[in-house]
């Protein structure tokens, strides 16, 4: 039967994140913990723990109680890491906010999580965060404090004299099973769901993934993936923390030139990214002159990597031990992982085997029964890594996690005789664009606000760079001129995050339907591939 359990001979960590930071600082006090290449700032583990304790004391003086929600809205800056660990030391629940969020998305998260303290940058690319926060603040009655990084208010908070007695007392009141993080993942209802994760969930997931990559205190991990997502925050920050490894931030947002330069300058041994990031590095004009000889391992996740690019990553980036990971935010995030010595074929055609202490099974979506090996069914995961639930949404939690503790992924998969899992499709209509999970219903509901749109369906179509791109099938209201990709983008810009804006538009008078009146999105995708001449993209996706 399609059931497998990862090895359990390696004990799980029983500490809170704050306790783990103090333990690592004691074991490796002079090891570099964090390097911000752009600003040139560096912290040893002793310095990082001291800076975190000062910031944590500042949060206590702001009145942050155990279980309060503290929001972080920023790209990859070192202060993100400081607030991550400071919140953990005081038992606050860190709420990660996507830096690309617009006013509507920000307001929803502030209200749904009842965020009391928000830490942010002042600007991100072309977004004025101060103005956006001012715009939505009347809709967020629980928000007491807004602190912008780099301002005197931040300097005062981060420079609070450490109150060891108060901080120690708070840390002793915390438990490894306390919720410590909320990460929002869009749902098919159109409203994002807050996956609530504990110290135990995410600390151990970061630990076990990096154990699989052979991390030691000598490793230096270049983190080009965003901290707001599990990939950066858990696999990057926490995965490095438990080994005394160093996190290197090449730039606040993904910049292939900055990443290549950081790997050389900091002698990075590991690199994380989604396939589109690795492709961008390989195709960058600076690539042939880049010194990547220090690299040995890393993780690629988010979507399948084309075989030819994986061959180039191994051969041209010196990453013989690169691994492939699969998971979801609700599972902290990784549930399966390829072994460092796995063949190239395994690393391109599967998503690996279950991590230690993780159970995986493939079930018939209709009956719930485990299917035979080689047969397709829904992938389910169980173990320490499964979230506590969706924040204050018990019904949605019950839909996702069954009474026996199995997290239902919504992904269709197979399992072979050696426990390797292969993702073959999705039960849901989720679109994965460059590692971002996009849900059509959310985008469709927004597009209904356009006065000219009578009906709309969002599908994913293949793309050689991002894996998938969004395509909007639109039925126009009578008398309104047809939309095109440019006019639709103009309508969406500033209201939807850029990656949620459809790249393609198909105007139609009707949608393909089944005999029972259900939309046939598979038929829409097939027709779009033909109409948009994306056959070559199908071959490479």
Our measurement of the distance from residue 288's CA atom to the centroid of its chain's CA atoms, rounded to an integer in Å, reads 30
What pLDDT, on the 0 to 100 scale, is given for residue 514?
57
Is residue 147 classed as helix, strand or coil in its secondary structure? strand
Question: Total domain count for the chain?
Answer: 2
pTM of the predicted protein model: 0.84
What pLDDT, on the 0 to 100 scale, is given for residue 349?
84
CATH of the domain at 496: 3.30.300.30
* Residue where a domain terminates, one of 174, 193, 222: 174
What pLDDT, on the 0 to 100 scale, is given for residue 516?
46
Is 86 inside any structural domain? yes
* Residue where a domain terminates, one of 174, 197, 220: 174
The H or E element that residue 373 is part of is none
What pLDDT, on the 0 to 100 scale, is given for residue 307?
77
Tens of pLDDT, residues 484-537 = 999 999 999 999 999 999 999 999 998 887 554 567 888 899 999 999 999 776
Judge whether residue 370 has pLDDT over 50: yes
Tens of pLDDT, residues 221-241 = 999 999 999 999 999 999 999
Judge whether residue 39 has pLDDT over 80: yes
What pLDDT, on the 0 to 100 scale, is given for residue 339?
85
The rounded distance, in Å, linking the Cα atoms of 506 and 357 is 46
Domain hosting 437: range is 431-540
What pLDDT, on the 0 to 100 scale, is given for residue 152?
98
Is residue 51 classed as helix, strand or coil in its secondary structure? helix
pLDDT-wise least confident of 26-30, 102-106, 255-259:
102-106
Our measurement of the distance from residue 419's CA atom to the centroid of its chain's CA atoms, rounded to an integer in Å, reads 25
Is 162 inside any structural domain? yes
Judge whether residue 539 has pLDDT over 50: no
Tens of pLDDT, residues 12-31 = 999 999 999 999 999 999 99
Q: Phi, psi (5° rounding) for residue 292?
A: -115, 20
C-alpha pair distances (Å), 259 with each of 76, 116, 277: 13, 35, 10
Is 325 inside any structural domain? no
Our measurement of the distance from residue 137's CA atom to the centroid of its chain's CA atoms, rounded to an integer in Å, reads 26
CATH of the domain at 60: 3.40.50.980
What pLDDT, on the 0 to 100 scale, is given for residue 188?
37
Over residues 342-350, mean pLDDT? 87
Higher pLDDT, 69 or 439: 69
C-alpha pair distances (Å), 504 with each of 436, 462, 516: 18, 11, 28
Is 16 inside any structural domain? no
DSSP code of residue 372: P
Over residues 395-412, mean pLDDT? 95
What pLDDT, on the 0 to 100 scale, is given for residue 428?
67
Judge whether residue 341 has pLDDT over 90: no
Tens of pLDDT, residues 108-153 = 999 999 999 999 999 999 999 999 999 999 999 999 999 999 999 9
Judge whether residue 296 has pLDDT over 60: yes
> Tokens 């975190």 sit at which residue?
52
Is 443 inside any structural domain? yes
Is 380 inside any structural domain? no
Higher pLDDT, 393 or 425: 393
The CA-to-CA distance between both ends of the chain, in Å, stands at 30
What pLDDT, on the 0 to 100 scale, is given for residue 60?
98
At 189, the pLDDT band (50, 70, 90 cuts) reads very low
Judge whether residue 176 has pLDDT over 50: yes
Is 419 inside any structural domain? no
Judge whether residue 78 has pLDDT over 90: yes
* Residue where a domain terminates, one of 145, 174, 203: 174
Is 74 inside any structural domain? yes
What pLDDT, on the 0 to 100 scale, is given for residue 540?
46
């Amino acid at each position: 039967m399609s059931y497998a359990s990862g090895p359990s001979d390696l004990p799980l960590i029983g500490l809170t994140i704050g306790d783990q930071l103090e333990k690592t600082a004691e074991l490796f006090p002079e090891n570099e913990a964090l390097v911000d290449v752009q600003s040139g700032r560096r912290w040893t583990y002793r310095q990082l723990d001291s800076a975190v304790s000062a910031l944590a004391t500042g949060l206590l003086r702001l009145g942050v109680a155990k279980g309060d929600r503290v929001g972080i809205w920023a790209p990859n800056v070192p202060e993100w890491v400081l607030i991550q660990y400071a919140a953990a030391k005081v038992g606050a629940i860190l709420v990660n906010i996507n830096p690309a969020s617009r006013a509507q998305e920000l307001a929803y998260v502030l209200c749904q999580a009842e965020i009391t303290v928000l830490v942010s940058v002042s600007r991100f690319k072309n977004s004025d965060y101060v103005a956006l926060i001012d715009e939505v603040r009347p809709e967020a009655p629980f928000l007491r404090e807004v602190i912008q990084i780099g301002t005197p208010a931040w300097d005062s908070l981060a420079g609070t004299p450490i109150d060891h007695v108060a901080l120690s007392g708070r840390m002793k009141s915390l438990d490894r099973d306390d919720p410590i993080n909320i990460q929002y993942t869009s749902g098919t209802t159109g409203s994002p769901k807050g996956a609530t994760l504990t110290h135990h969930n995410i600390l151990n997931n970061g630990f076990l993934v990096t154990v699989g990559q052979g991390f030691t205190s000598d490793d230096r991990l270049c983190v080009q993936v965003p901290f707001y997502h599990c990939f950066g925050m858990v696999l990057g920050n926490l995965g490095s923390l438990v080994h005394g490894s160093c996190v290197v931030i090449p730039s606040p947002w993904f910049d292939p030139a900055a990443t290549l330069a950081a790997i050389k300058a900091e002698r990075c041994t590991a690199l994380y990214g989604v396939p589109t990031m690795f492709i961008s590095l390989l195709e960058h004009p600076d690539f042939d002159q880049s010194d990547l000889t220090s690299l040995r391992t890393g993780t690629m996740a988010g979507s399948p990597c084309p075989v030819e690019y994986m061959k180039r990553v191994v051969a041209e980036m010196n990453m013989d031990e690169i691994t492939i990971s699969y998971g979801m935010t609700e599972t902290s995030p990784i549930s399966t992982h390829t072994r460092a010595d796995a063949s190239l074929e395994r690393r391109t055609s599967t998503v690996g085997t279950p991590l230690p202490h993780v159970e995986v099974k493939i079930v018939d979506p209709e009956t719930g029964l485990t299917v035979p090996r080689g047969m397709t069914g829904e992938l389910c995961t169980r173990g320490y890594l499964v979230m506590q639930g969706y924040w204050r949404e018990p019904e949605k939690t019950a839909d996702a996690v069954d009474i026996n503790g199995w997290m239902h992924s919504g992904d269709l998969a197979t399992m072979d005789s050696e426990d390797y899992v292969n993702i073959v499709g999705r039960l849901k209509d989720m679109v994965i664009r460059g590692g971002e999970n996009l849900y059509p219903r959310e985008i469709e509901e927004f597009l209904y606000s356009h006065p000219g749109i009578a009906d709309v369906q969002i599908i994913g179509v293949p793309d050689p760079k991002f894996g998938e791109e969004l395509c909007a099938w639109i039925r126009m209201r009578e008398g309104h001129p047809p939309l095109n990709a440019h006019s639709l983008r103009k309508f969406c810009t500033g209201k939807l995050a850029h990656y949620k804006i459809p790249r393609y538009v198909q105007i139609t008078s009707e949608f393909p339907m089944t005999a029972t009146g259900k939309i046939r999105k598979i038929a829409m995708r097939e027709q779009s591939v033909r109409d948009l001449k994306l056959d070559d993209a199908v071959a490479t996706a």
